[in-house]
Amino acid sequence: KAGVTQTPRYLIKTRGQQVTLSCSPISGHRSVSWYQQTPGQGLQFLFEYFSETQRNKGNFPGRFSGRQFSNSRSEMNVSTLELGDSALYLCASRQTSGGYNEQFFGPGTRLTVL
């Protein structure tokens, strides 16, 4: 079974631009979560989508948004990029939103903002 895939793997943008990252979950998984990983703040939860609806949200500004499509694929968008948005963005999928079931992470998209 294929794992979680993320595209692109690397991205360079300049301040003020916007960016869209894509995530394809494991087949059959309906929950997709996004995380930001930086050396200073570590791994932080951004939001979770399940059945095309945002279920949970972390403490990030409104510049960070996402969506999920009917095939469970998800996109994350960051508008008006800031230098501090440089990070590894990780997507994770799991079968359902409720209860405990293992999350599987993708390899991440490394975003550099210049």
Partner 1 sequence: QKEVEQDPGPLSVPEGAIVSLNCTYSNSAFQYFMWYRQYSRKGPELLMYTYSSGNKEDGRFTAQVDKSSKYISLFIRDSQPSDSATYLCAFPGYSSASKIIFGSGTRLSIRP
Binding site for partner 1 (CB under 8 A): 4, 31, 33, 35, 42-45, 48, 55-56, 58, 90, 92, 94, 97-108
Report the residue count for the chain: 114
Which amino acid, 50? Answer: F
Residue number with CB closer to partner 1 (33 or 72): 33
Task: Find the shortest distance in angstroms from Cβ 45 to partner 1.
Answer: 5
The amino acid at residue 111 is L
Q: How far apart are CB 68 and partner 1 at their closest, in Å?
A: 13
How many whole angstroms separate alpha carbon 38 and alpha carbon 26? 25
The smaller minimum CB distance to partner 1, of residues 35 and 64, is found at 35
Q: State the nearest-atom distance from the C-beta of 33 to partner 1, in Å.
A: 5
The nearer residue to partner 1, 80 or 100, going by C-beta atoms, is 100
In the bound state with partner 1, the residue whose beta carbon lies nearer, of 54 and 80, is 54
State the CB neighbour count (10 A cutoff) for residue 63. 13
CA 65 – CA 40 distance, rounded (Å): 22
d(CA 22, CA 39): 22
We find the least distance from the C-beta atom of residue 50 to partner 1, in angstroms, to be 8
Strand 64-68: give its sheet, edge to edge.
Answer: 5-7, 19-24, 74-78, 64-68
